Chains A and B, each alone.
Chain A
Amino acid sequence: MIRGARLAWPVVGCALPLTAAAVVVAVRDGLTWRAFVTGDPWFSVVLAVTSPLLGVAVLHREPGSRLAWVFSAVGLSRAVFVAATVWTNHTYIVTPGSWPGGGFASWVAFWMRMPAVALAPLLLLWFPDGRPPGRRWRAAAIPSGVALTAVLLLAVLSWPYRGPRLLPDAPVPPGTRAQMAAACFPVLAVAGLAGLAAGLAGLVSRLRGSDPVVRQQVKWYLYGGVAAIVLNLAGDVLGPGTGLNLAGTLASVAAILIAVERYQLWNIDRLINRTLVYGTLTALAAATYAGCAAGLGLLLGGAAHGRSLAVAGATLAAAALVAPARHTVQTTIDRWFDRRAFDAVARVRGFAARLGTAPPAPGELRGVLAAALRDPDLSVLFTLADSRVVDPAGVAAMVPSAGGGRTVRRLTGGSGNLGWLTHRPMPAHETRLLDGVLAAAAVPLEYARLQAELRVHLAAVEASRARIVEAADAERRRIERNLHDGAQQRLVALAIRLRSEQRRLGAALDPRMSPLLDLAVDQLRDAVAELRALAQGLLPAALASEGLGPALRELVDRHHASARLLQVPDHRHGPALEATGWFIAAEGLANAAKHAPGAPVTVTANCEGTTFTIAVTDRGPGGASIDAGSGLRGLADRVDTRGGRLTITSPPGGGTDLRAALPCA
């Protein structure tokens, strides 16, 4: 692998300068090289430049990939071909005899065209991972191997044969070799075409069973491959000068670039991205420097120190420009290159920016991440400080496990373990997208975890408050029962006992005792009445046995005659809700009796949809408020515990309306 990387860069190091030098010489020679090349020499130049670069890029992503070797080999052979062609042209045509080795150069130029053609099928067959599409496709590489071997063998055997058209006045080689070479061309052509067909078939077979992104890469590559083959064949048939070979090469390069840019082919977009960013920055800085230096030089003109001042000023301007420009350039190129990742991160950043102004609903972050990562089934779970796992709404959940086609990723933040992200499996080229999105979501994730934690604690507090109220209610019921069934019964039983003894003794009773017994019975009766009044403030037995309606009726019955019960629920509700309703009615009636004695007062209780309403309305003097008494304060807390709201409307002189709305099932 390291060897592969070591060799691919020297190939670039050889091929690019060689091609560049050849192009310089060709331009100086007036581009007369066309006479020696079948097809368009520029097509070879493009191949000589792009192929080694692609080889490096592939190696960068997949070390040891055979595809990289093919690209490098194609590129190198084309670079050598271009250089040899230019060399031959220069030494034979432009300035005859000026450079040595014309014969060797023309031999190289003739044979170095072939390897690229022989290797082309492998570019199709081994795309994109350097392996054939399947075990059965291994044999499809054979025609390329045969063709390449045949080319090299022929080249050596036919030395110094330089081809039929390269040099009209070159010495004709011995006939057997020329015939041998001529006979081999059809073999080469057949092997090449067979290889191309096999390569295309292999590429098409990859369209099936690949993940969608790889499929898109293959499609673009296929377009490029087909365009290159068709246009090159057409160019070879129609002859040089039509530009078809160049067009085919450019089309295939463009297709590969699209696959790189849109579908992160070989993940080299990052490489290209950086190259472009720093290239643009360098160009920008250089232009600024040059502009400033020239401008300042003009301004400062004659002064002796003008030149150094201009240099210093230009340097400062260029340096000052680079830092702010870097962000703009990076953003622009990011957007162009990896629009999807850019959009995804931008979406999450936008959400994070809104956090401060509009607190998100639970689960909103999950929606944003699902949209950014294009995974509607994505789920986010949080780990609380006490290691419990909950969903964003604070509902307890299990630690997710991978499987069923889902991937689980542990989320970490400043406070350690944040939670878990369950998402669709991401191909290798998408992991950077995931990392970018999660990095942008760091603050929202912390925020959402805190929200979930808060929600869990709030729910616990609410539950405990409801339990306290329920326990208090149960205690009230117990006391009421004990008063009725214990103390009161004993007092009544005692009175009955006294009365019956009094009656049994009749005339035998000491006349002085009779008034004493009467007094005792009267006292007992009073004690029972007092106990009954005491028990009335507690939850009545009728509430549990018969429901809120009858209990309210008893309550209103006990009030003075101006109280009316207008409406009661027609079915039972939970004991906690019924107790709350009863307490509100009892408190409202007690307040009415205290502050508005004799004024008409009505009690209404009903349940519409999911809202239970109870109201006590009097036509008294008004002016009451919830803060006025601990009774109302306690009621408000009780209603709050049930998730409802207690309101009191009491304008001075306008009566008092005590009203509670509570959720009911």
Chain B
Amino acid sequence: MRVVLADDAVLLREGIHRILTDDGITVSAAVGDVDALLDHVAAAAPDLAVIDIRMPPTFTDEGLRAARTVRERHPGTAVLLLSQHVQVGGALDLFTTDASGLGYLLKDRIIEIDDFLAAIRRVAAGGSVIDPIVIRALVERRSPTDTLGLLSDREREVLSLMAQGLSNPAIATRLFVGLRTIETHVASVFTKLGLLPTPDEHRRVRAVITYLNHSG
């Protein structure tokens, strides 16, 4: 797997570089600005681009716009967005068009190296990853009068974990309940939201995100 890193913070970039290399992942380039990133993606067509949302020159959403360009012009390159803090607005649009091969993580997550590497692999393989904090923000944003208000507290908790890409057994383990219970909750969530359950993990995330975004 070949990955391109785009972050203007040199220390962080080197840190990620080291983690990936140690794990046997090829870092095809590590760049500090958007232009270099787009040039490299166009030239080398890496499997994944890890992009910091805030980059020079304005440090607002250069990375996000670059991610949009990458997904439009190079569908073969997956994108994992990194952000220093919860900044969802623009990123959500990306997920609603097509969530496959797309991820969004806070930079703090990188510290849990195993989780981070798992997320890298899942996104590179065409899956989706969204940071739990972002999911929580999105779920909590719903007003009780929304359709989502039909869900029980437990079902909302399950939905939140589903959105993070956790499998049913993983949710069961996390919530200390039986797998059957979780499957019931998931079925109930999909029924209440009018969504067809599929085994495909990233579709689950995408369905949830799409729903959240559209009902917001």
Contact = CB atoms under 8 A, between A and B. Distances in A.
Interface stretch (B42-50, B67-75, B83-91, B168-176): B83-91
Contact of B140 (A493, A504, A540, A557): A557
B143 interface: yes
A287 interface: no
Interface string B99-110: 000000001101
A499 B111 contact: yes
Q: Is the interface of B mostly helix, strand, loop or mixed?
A: helix
30 contacts: A484-B54, A485-B8, A485-B9, A485-B54, A485-B59, A490-B11, A492-B12, A492-B108, A493-B11, A493-B12, A493-B15, A497-B18, A499-B113, A503-B22, A521-B111, A528-B108, A532-B85, A535-B85, A540-B87, A541-B54, A542-B89, A544-B58, A545-B58, A546-B87, A549-B89, A553-B88, A554-B137, A557-B138, A557-B140, A558-B137
B174 to A, nearest CB: 20
A489 B9 contact: yes
Given A489-B12, A496-B15, A565 B61 contact: no
A553 B90 CA distance: 12
A550 B90 contact: yes
Nearest to A545: B60
A484 B111 contact: no
B214 interface: no
Contacts of B86: 554, 557-558
B19 A553 contact: no
A496 B54 contact: no
A555 to B, nearest CB: 11
A553 B113 CA distance: 30
A496 B9 CA distance: 13
B56 to A, nearest CB: 10
A488 interface: yes
Please list the 3 inter-chain residue pairs (A to B) with the smallest Cβ-Cβ separation, ordered nearest first: A550-B89, A545-B60, A493-B11
Contacts of A556: 141
B16 interface: yes
Contacts of B19: 496, 499-500, 503
A217 B199 CA distance: 106
Nearest to B117: A503
Contacts of B9: 485, 489-490, 493
Interface in A89-108: none
A496 B107 CA distance: 10
Contacts of A541: 54, 59-60, 87
A561 B153 CA distance: 13
Interface SS majority for chain A:
helix
B22 A481 contact: no
Interface string A494-526: 111101100110000000000000000100110
Contacts of B110: 492, 496
A544 B59 CA distance: 10
Contacts of B15: 493, 496-497, 500
The residue in B84, B110, B113 that gathers the most chain A C-beta atoms within 10 A of its C-beta is B84
B84 A546 contact: no
Contacts of A540: 87
Nearest to B60: A545
Contact of A481 (B59, B87, B113): B59
Nearest to A549: B89
Contacts of A553: 88-89, 141
A489 B87 contact: no
A564 interface: yes
B209 to A, nearest CB: 15
Given A503-B113, A550-B89, 18 more contacts: A481-B54, A484-B85, A485-B54, A489-B107, A492-B12, A492-B107, A492-B111, A494-B11, A495-B111, A500-B22, A532-B84, A545-B60, A550-B87, A553-B141, A554-B137, A557-B88, A557-B141, A561-B140
B24 to A, nearest CB: 12
Given A484-B84, A485-B59, A521-B111, A496 B16 contact: yes
Contacts of A561: 140
Contacts of B18: 497, 500
A484 B9 CA distance: 11
Nearest to B82: A492
